[in-house]
Amino acid sequence: MTDRAGTPALESDLVDLDDLLRAYEGVAAADQPVVFGTSGHRGSSLDGAFTDTHIAAITQAIVEYRSAQGVEGPVFVGADTHALSAPAQVTCLEVLAANGVTALVDADAGWVPTPAVSRAIIRHNRALEHGTGAISGRRRDASAERRLGAREPRLADGIVITPSHNPPRDGGFKYNPPHGGPADSDATGWIAGRANEIIAGGNRDVKRSRAVTAEPYDFRGEYVTDLASVLDLGAIKASGLRLGADPLGGASVDYWKLIASHYGLPLEVTNPAVDPTWRFMTLDWDEKIRMDPSSPSAMASVVARRADFDILTGNDADADRHGIVTPDGGLMNPNHYLAVAIQYLCTHRDGWSAEAAIGKTLVSSTMIDRVVASLGRRLWEVPVGFKWFVPGLIDGSVAFGGEESAGASFLELDGSAWTTDKDGIILALLAAEIRAVTGKSPSVLYSELTEEFGDPAYARVDAAASPAQKARLGKLSGSDIRADKLAGDPIVDRLSSAPGNGAAIGGVKVVTEHAWFAARPSGTEDVYKIYAESFRGPDHLAEVQAEAKLIVDAALGS
């Protein structure tokens, strides 16, 4: 952490928007191909990594992919408040129009959070399954009715234009198939490969029309109205709690305003400003502007107001992540809040099946394992990436899916699917429900969990690694770990695949009775990430981290 972490951004920290937007119209850099990570293609136009060329090619590839998959319905298209999102949306819509694909965009020309796109896809496709029609959230004129009424409704999918919590210089572009959640690696691999073929061919295969024919959809109204199916908003309204929500300059700003007015909640939008430079943010740990609601440095100005509210929350730019601030505990560690949310939901959702599992990524806290076991629920542990929760959330076999990076979603009150992508808005509202129903803040409830299950210390650090070492780490097997002890305790498990679904974790996880570590290569830097936790305290955690590096380096032949 640097000296300026948590301090207000200065003019010198801000991106030049004119340069950024001008570079978007430039040529894609030869060394910046389309690469889909866990959350789509990301990059900056200033590096030649996020340009009109990239977005046109990706959109054309998505058109071809969805056609091959038999997806013939509309595409829900949403964009966040990053400066590059607006021109990228124009590019996307021009390509969709030329290919004859109906695009549904926000009826008020507003910003659209990721969970609102996921919800719209699920809502549309559920209506088709039940034979009740589709796209009820549209505001259409008579000509649109005539054009669309002549066609049988088809499955819909979505495109979300966002780099999530990334700095203001970045752009992002991701595809959500008809299940509503992040595309799996088969889909993203095909789309990225085809997009790069198109770019190599000078984008000659791209069909494009300047005459955009997108149709309006009321993303905000439909999402906010449906919230009553997933949360006890009546309890929140009756509580009289002082609630605050900070969108951190992101796409949720108008959603929070409508939530407050529609449900009569005692909720203040603490910072309604939207500025694509994000000049009002405090700097993150590395002195970058980053809208990460789980970062104490990025959330410093929000935490400073904690005494003014019973619950204060933050969201990132596309509102798929959450940050929970309480007057007694400040900003909660994401792992701590996930454990509290799981304990509360499993004891306050009578409509959920007792057989539905609780999902977590394998780098999330073991506190979750202990809470889930005490509830008599089945734990479903998967690799990093929210895409792994999608099948279970869509069919109801997984009631809750959460990641240590402050992303989660859960089922509706009756056990139906809500979203299959991360939803920071419902996790923020859940904190208010928990406080209203239990009379205790989530941070107090976590303290009670530690009294019952122990108080773990958790951290993530980075270790240097060459590209070759990262490649080897991604392919390591548990049997490659030769050590038999970790920080004084016998090793009881060496994992290279996730216990929940058997999928490769792209690294290793080593477990003892009291601690564990997981090592995974970074997708963007010459480092590997070491996640670690110990129920024996911070000093023991430091031992685990130090030995983890030695164990991994030995396995890599370093």
Active site residues: 164
- CB–CB of 81/274 below 8 Å? yes
Residues 6+ apart with CB under 8 A from 454: 367, 370, 535
DSSP strand pairing (398-403 vs 357-361) = parallel
* Residues present in the chain in total: 558
- CB–CB of 125/155 below 8 Å? yes
Residues 6+ apart with CB under 8 A from 531: 363, 404, 458, 459, 460, 517, 518, 519, 520
Helical ranges in 74-180 per DSSP H? 85-98, 114-130, 142-149
d(CA 483, CA 73): 53
d(CA 401, CA 360): 6
How is residue 543 written in tokens? 């031992």
End-to-end Cα distance, the chain: 27
Three-class DSSP category at 344: helix
> What is the CA 526 to chain-centroid distance, rounded?
23
* Vertex 216 angle, CA 212 and 218, to 5°: 150
- CB–CB of 498/384 below 8 Å? no
